[in-house]
Amino acid sequence: MEKINSAADLKIAIKQLELENTIHGQLLKEQFFYTIDSLTPANIIKRTMNDIATSPYLIDNMLGAAVGLVTGYLTKVITVGTSHNPFKKLLGTVLQFGITNIIAQHPEIFKTVGQFLMDKVLNKKETNTEKL
């Protein structure tokens, strides 16, 4: 700020500071209302849902979990079958949880194996159609 030498300069400086104070007060009020609005439960839920929906890893995680659950269940069905033996049922449940966790935590390994198998099946079909 420059040096004030007269009463007129002092009045001008006071008016400028009052104007700045008014502008800063208005900006502070706007920021306050924006913050209050963003902290309402509806807006917090809306933002969270939007973040979840736009997450790039959500689909991969859900797909991995779904494949893990299905694979674990099929493993239990195959190992236990229609047995009424409690030990066999317990073993099937432990095996189901183990396979579900492994596949859900490492879906990229099983995705690679699945792609390899699909390539082999498709290449086998192409060779069979070429022979005909």
Domain boundaries along the sequence of the chain:
7-47, 57-131
* Structural tokens at position 18: 């009052």
DSSP, collapsed to helix, strand or coil, labels residue 41 as helix
Three-state helix/strand/coil letters over 78-100: HHHCCCCCHHHHHHHHHHHHHHH
- Cα dihedral 93, 98, 101, 106 sign: negative
> What are the pLDDT tens digits along the chain (132 aa)?
678 888 888 999 999 999 999 999 999 999 999 999 988 988 888 888 888 777 777 777 777 788 888 888 888 888 888 888 888 888 888 988 888 888 888 877 777 877 888 888 777 666 656 555
